[in-house]
Structure 1
């Protein structure tokens, strides 16, 4: 029986449409699998997982951490580490990491990395001592190296946590006294501190802060306020700093950023004070509240300069 012409034409149209359902510029290529995955137990109930960045023709959107085939964490593409918590003490685990792009393509899993959580400890409420003599240097526009002297603990220090602007960005084992921090921005002033941690998750006080500046960047770091201090007073925080030098012209305006957000603009209507500047602001939060502060100045040409190093303060 001969097939009707109309049916033949309709079939050809459907096949043609089906062949065009995938746009020619669609992203169908999966990222590469993450490499260099490590897993380290810093306590009886947590594991710190780190990895190296994957590659993709259009960019990574996120990373997924899997524990024996089950996704347990997801982090954005700019993050190359995470902590997996609420684990059982003294228990073996295995972790893999995969990358995902904006089109939803997933990379193969990384190599599986085994780790065993630390054994549960008797009740321990004693925190380690603070790490001392924190020092370091920028080794490139996006990398710094840090070193410190070890802390002490009544049981044992199981991990050192590196903080940048009050955010934990890196963890190394309790026997390490060095760390390399990557994925930084060129031409930026960073403030680092280190805390020691034991198996009961007790953390030491912060080390003395260390300010480091990465080379490069579009805004010269010489335009940043320097020597910023933040002192807690009853119901207030007092700031002092040295304004940047702008070819001898006075700096009449600064922005105060509190916990990463613009809080207020400090303006001197007349001639600014000579030497160090001082500003005190009141706080409404209860004693024991932690604040992070940083400043930047409006330069004589009307543009904003680089940010100062960040300081943390706990209210009284």
Structure 2
């Protein structure tokens, strides 16, 4: 720390004597110059009084303070006072130039010039019509809006400044303002939209247009109602055309339109128009599996019955544990729907030839079946859900610590980890209880499956014993080709997500099989090609990484299905490809609708080119 040069020249003793004499010789008003709390980078003069850590100090030499020169650290500059610092009794200066900046029928906005204070202004109080209590206050801002006023009424305002000690300035000059008359309430609805008509149909949408409405103020938008429903199925912000999506194929729908204004007035319904969607459910051999999520994550809410006809299998996500991850008690409550309506929606999708499964787990639904009690709770509660809603099958989307290999569990053919053994046994029991037509699917992450080739233990390869034990009843495996790092493939190279090479390499691993933990004597047998799908995000917003453009997905599928190379690095072990490869899975149906069906439209059209 550097001290003032004066101390170096004269010595501390002489300085103290001299400054003490000065303190006695200085006028009383100098000795009582209260400067409030000490602060660095501040000019102080002899006689100033500051407070620091609850104590008062007298300035012994004029100086500009620095960090490290706090009063108790530099006794040559400050002399500790006995007793508490003198109270702050000095009021702030009077606020100036009070004026109004805006008004309406119930409020007035005010501004004024800032006050000053020996310590600091902490806020302002606004008084209305000479009242004794403040009608508004600020924490230091020099403007405020006073609300709750009567329309067409004159108010007189004054402002006072205050400091931390509670001192208040004198009142500012008064300023009077008359509030505006209240605007008339808009109760006039817009005119009825005219000439509603269909301008195009597809197998899952109907395009509509109509003539514009008029309003005494302004039309702010239009709402489209389907089949006389009480809530709008589509809206616009003023455009006079819209495409209603998510419809079922080969189905007739009736539409009406209403206009609305800013006050919430709605017009009468337009003429009704009926339109029939084209086509039927996909009849090809290739499928799209989609997850419909039972919660709002910022994508969109879709009623189950309104899911696009392009999806063959719908995974309802998720059934989750209640009472803790290890309880085994599983629950599911329909989001934004009654149980009766949800059951009816499932029945409708099933009548269209589609399959509706209940998915277990997800990123937040960790399931630990560590003992026989948890296993039985799982079976009982899952069977109740399957029976109640009529689900066609079960999807295991176990993530996080739901599956993890214990130390010493080294053979995927004979697992010993309780939570892995118990999930296998519980799933087998549910399959047996629900018959041969009951579907089993799985959606593991790459680390839990293909990652098992490089290492086997903990999460690495933890799904392999489950897949292997249930392969005889496994309908579809759709590994999540997203939110993953690079993964080693059969050619010994590591491939990154979002690329055609990655999708081809990861899919062929599941068909060809691979050595677990690099041990060629522990080969994981490949699955049938018709059991394997690629799992993809439906949009960039749907996952943290792994979104792949439709063009690059189709490059990968051309190679997998037909052996038609795109010139990538990875080379198929089977050059002819795998014609039986089943298709695609996506997270999620909701995100697909959010991006105007890019995923389902582009990939359904591609997959339908295969028999």
For Structure 1 versus Structure 2, the TM-score category normalised by the shorter chain is 0.3 to 0.5
Query: Which structure dedicates a bigger proportion of its chain to strand?
Result: 1
Larger Rg: 2
Normalising by the residue count of structure 2, what TM-score does the alignment of the two structures yield?
0.18
Normalising by the residue count of structure 1, what TM-score does the alignment of the two structures yield?
0.34
